[in-house]
Structure 1
Amino acid sequence: MRRNPFDNIEEMLDRVSRQVEEGMTAGGLQVPGSVPVDVADTDEQYVVTADLPGYETDDIELTLSDGTLRLEANRTDEEEYPEGRYLRRERTETSASRRIRLPEPVDEESVDAGFENGVLTVRLPKVSSGEDSRRIDIE
Structure 2
Amino acid sequence: MRSEVSHMPLPTTPDTSWMQGLDLPTRVLGGESPFGGTDYELYEEDGEFVLSVEAPGFEADEFDVAWDGGVLNVAAEHVDDERGRKRTYHRRFRFPKDVDEDGIAAQYRNGVLEVTLPMEIDAASHGTSIPVES
Superposition TM-score, scaled by structure 2 size: 0.66
Shift, 1:34, TM fit: 5.4
Per-residue CA deviations over 1:35-76 (Å, capped at 9, x if unaligned) read 721110124000000011000011110000101000001011
Per-residue CA deviations over 1:77-114 (Å, capped at 9, x if unaligned) read 1126xxxxxxxxxx611101000001101111111111
Is 1:21–2:15 an aligned residue pair?
yes
- Structure 2 vs 1, CA of residues 66 and 34 (structure 1 numbering), >3 Å: closer, same or farther? farther
Q: RMSD of aligned C-alpha atoms?
A: 2.8
**Which 5+ residue runs of structure 2 have no aligned equivalent?**
1-11, 124-134
Is 1:57–2:60 an aligned residue pair?
yes
- 2:18–2:96 CA contact under 8 A, matched in 1: no
Which of these residues, 116, 126, 132, is aligned with residue 123 of structure 1? Answer: 116
Is 1:114–2:117 an aligned residue pair?
no
Which of these residues, 62, 71, 74, is aligned with residue 74 of structure 2? Answer: 71
Which of these residues, 17, 42, 45, is aligned with residue 45 of structure 2? Answer: 42
Q: Distance in 2 between matches of 1:27 and 1:115?
A: 26
Bigger radius of gyration = 1
Q: Distance in 2 between matches of 1:64 and 1:19?
A: 27
Q: Distance in 2 between matches of 1:29 and 1:21?
A: 13
Q: Distance in 1 between matches of 2:33 and 2:98?
A: 24
Superposition TM-score, scaled by structure 1 size: 0.64
Q: Distance in 2 between matches of 1:101 and 1:67?
A: 6
- 1:34–1:96 CA contact under 8 A, matched in 2: no
Which of these residues, 69, 94, 97, is aligned with residue 104 of structure 1? Answer: 97
Query: Structure 1 vs Structure 2: percent identity of aligned residues?
Result: 27
**Which 5+ residue runs of structure 1 have no aligned equivalent?**
1-17, 81-90, 131-139
Q: Distance in 1 between matches of 2:19 and 2:71?
A: 14
Aligned length: 103
